[in-house]
């Protein structure tokens, strides 16, 4: 069964600190993996996309890693800001078919001053 699991479920950090969010997946066949940021009451916004051959990709203070062998990904946030408070969702696309996406449940991050 295609599944995406994220940890932790929720996380509280102080402004300026770094954090790392985890994503494990059992999706086959694998096409790509994305990390999305979803603010409360809003739609998801893409942060990074990684294909099978990519190990790391950065977008400003966000750095995603992918280990296709162990089927694990992480999202590292550097120097957190209050505006980083949101849910971060790991999404894996199934290869072939009609653009099938498998969503993780998300990690709810709260950045406190």
Partner 1 sequence: GAVVSQHPSRVICKSGTSVKIECRSLDFQATTMFWYRQFPKKSLMLMATSNEGSKATYEQGVEKDKFLINHASLTLSTLTVTSAHPEDSSFYICSASQPGRPNEQFFGPGTRLTVL
Residues engaged in binding partner 1 (CB under 8 A): 31-32, 36, 41-46, 49, 89, 93, 98-101, 103-106, 108
CA neighbor of 81 nearest in space, from 64, 60, 65: 60
Which residue lies nearer to partner 1 by CB, 39 or 67?
A: 39
Name the minimum Å distance from CB 99 to partner 1: 6
CA 76 to chain centre: 9
Do the beta carbons of residue 44 and residue 36 sit within 8 Å? yes
Which residue lies nearer to partner 1 by CB, 43 or 113?
A: 43
Which residue lies nearer to partner 1 by CB, 18 or 46?
A: 46
**How many other CB atoms sit within 10 Å of the CB of residue 40?**
8
């Amino acid at each position: 069964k295609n599944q995406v699991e994220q940890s932790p479920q929720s996380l509280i950090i102080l402004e300026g600190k770094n954090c790392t969010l985890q994503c494990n997946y059992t999706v086959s066949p694998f096409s790509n993996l994305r990390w999305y940021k979803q603010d409360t009451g809003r739609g998801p916004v893409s942060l990074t996309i990684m294909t099978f051959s990519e190990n790391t990709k950065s977008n400003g203070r966000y750095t995603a890693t992918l280990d296709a062998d162990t089927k694990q990904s992480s999202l590292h946030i550097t120097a957190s800001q209050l505006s980083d408070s949101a849910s971060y969702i790991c999404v894996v696309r199934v290869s072939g078919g009609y653009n099938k996406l498998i969503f993780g449940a998300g990690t709810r991050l709260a950045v406190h001053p």
